[in-house]
Amino acid sequence: MQTEASWNLGKLLTVLVVVLTGFGVLPLFLGRFQVVLVTEALILGVYALSFDLIFGYAGMLSFGQSIFFGVGAYTILYSFKGGLGLAVSLLLAVFVAGIFGLLVGSAIVRIKGAKFFLVTLVGSILFYLLALDNRWLTGGSDGMVVPTVFPGLVENYYLVLGVSLTTILFALILVKSPLGLVLKMIRDNERRAGLLGYSLKKYKVMTFTIGGGIAGLAGGLYAYTSGFVSAGFFHWTRSADAVVWTILGGAGTVVGPFVGAALLTVVRDTLSAVMGNIYPVVVGALLVLAVVVFPRGVFGLLERAVGNWKGGSGG
């Protein structure tokens, strides 16, 4: 007789095989520019996921993710200039951005509420201004070219897909682990978690470090695939992007940030092709809609739809 656990495992494996096969054969059905867009959406999904760990799971509304994204991107630039290979450079991007996450997190996690949001926002503005002023190091607003060898669009896609899936797997393990459960407790009832003896600061700093490292990975991948970096990578609007993608896609879920990033990448490209920079206006409207009509994001909507369907078919 089949147990419920083996039945769930079977379903999970089926979903995994379908998803992997789908993404694996996707380039066969896409145009070359669409491959570029999907690759970019995956990278931005990884970036949004880094914010989701901090906000969706640990409850900290941070506008500082662009700091780690920028640090990761510039780490790739300088490690390539130093002659390091791609794998080592990406690991270095995770490590260096993680260290920045640790330092920033240690300094600010005790701050609460609106002040926390403002401090992280000011932090990203500060890093942007520093990057802008130190042109010798960052190239300023004009930026710098990353000395990479281009392997090809499809090769880039598979690289990014592999990294994204690994990150998703890591995040799934993390959020199901005791650490993830503690983080959710902190998010839902911080006082209670403290009374139960958990060190809030330690867990929050840990989340900031992991989130910083993943944002650095996304920044590194972005710099590698686009071939350039600029001070703009630190701009606070890039932090805001991660917030929007996550809320729209579904905060507190591992897949939601990817859904949000993919959706808005398509929206941005479509709008930008016909109407110039109207994208921010539309995104603002979508965000308001998301918060009011479907607060659990697009992924929440999908989950509800699947639940209703199962309920309907079961009844």
Partner 1 sequence: MKDSGTSLTRRSLLKGVMAGGLSLVAGGFSSFLGYSNSPITIGLQAELTGGLATYGYWHLKSARAAVKRINAEGGIDGRKVRLVHEDTETDPTTGSRKMKRLILKKGAEFVIGSQHSGVCLASLPVSRRFSVPYFPIGEATEITGSEGHEYVFRLNCSVEAHAEAGYRWIMENLGTSWSVVYADYAMGQSAVEEWGSRLETRGGRIVGKIAVPQGTDDFGPYLQKVDPEQSDVLVIILYGPDALACLRRSAEMGLSDELALFGNTGSVEALDINFSGAEGLWSITNYPRRLKGTPDELMSVNRDFRDMVGINPWGRGPKGRIVDASHFWVPWEVVNLLKEAIEAVGWEGNRDHSRLIEYLEGVNIPGSLDYPQGDKYIRGVDHQGFHSQYIQRVEGGKLEIETELPPEYSEYKPNADQ
- Spatial separation of the C-alpha atoms in residues 157 and 163, rounded to whole Å: 10
State phi, psi for 228 to the nearest 5 degrees: -150, 160
Nearest approach, Cβ of residue 174 and partner 1 (Å) = 29
Binding map of partner 1 across residues 151-180, x = CB under 8 A, - = no contact: --x---------------------------
- Binding segment for partner 1 (CB under 8 A), chosen from 9-17, 33-41, 63-71, 86-94, is 33-41
Comparing C-alpha atoms, which of 188, 210, 212, 190 is closest to residue 200?
Answer: 190
Residues 117-156 that bind partner 1 (CB under 8 A): 132-133, 135, 139-146, 148, 150, 153
The residue (of 135 and 184) whose beta carbon lies closer to partner 1 is 135
Nearer to partner 1, 56 or 139 (CB): 139
Which whole-number Å values give the CA distances from 94 to 69, 73, 141, 288, 307, in the listed order? Answer: 10, 10, 24, 33, 37
Contact set for partner 1, span 58-97 (CB under 8 A): none
Of 10, 82, 162, 227, which lies in the binding site for partner 1, with binding defined by CB under 8 A?
Answer: 227
Listed residue (140, 143, 100) closest to 123, CA to CA:
100
> 72, 232, 256, 300: which one contacts partner 1 (CB under 8 A)?
232
Q: Which of 195, 210, 177, 169 has its CA nearest to residue 60?
A: 210
Rounded to 10 deg, the angle between the 86-108 and 200-226 helix axes is 140
Binding footprint of partner 1 on the chain (CB under 8 A): 31-33, 36, 40, 132-133, 135, 139-146, 148, 150, 153, 226-228, 230, 232, 269, 272-273, 276-277
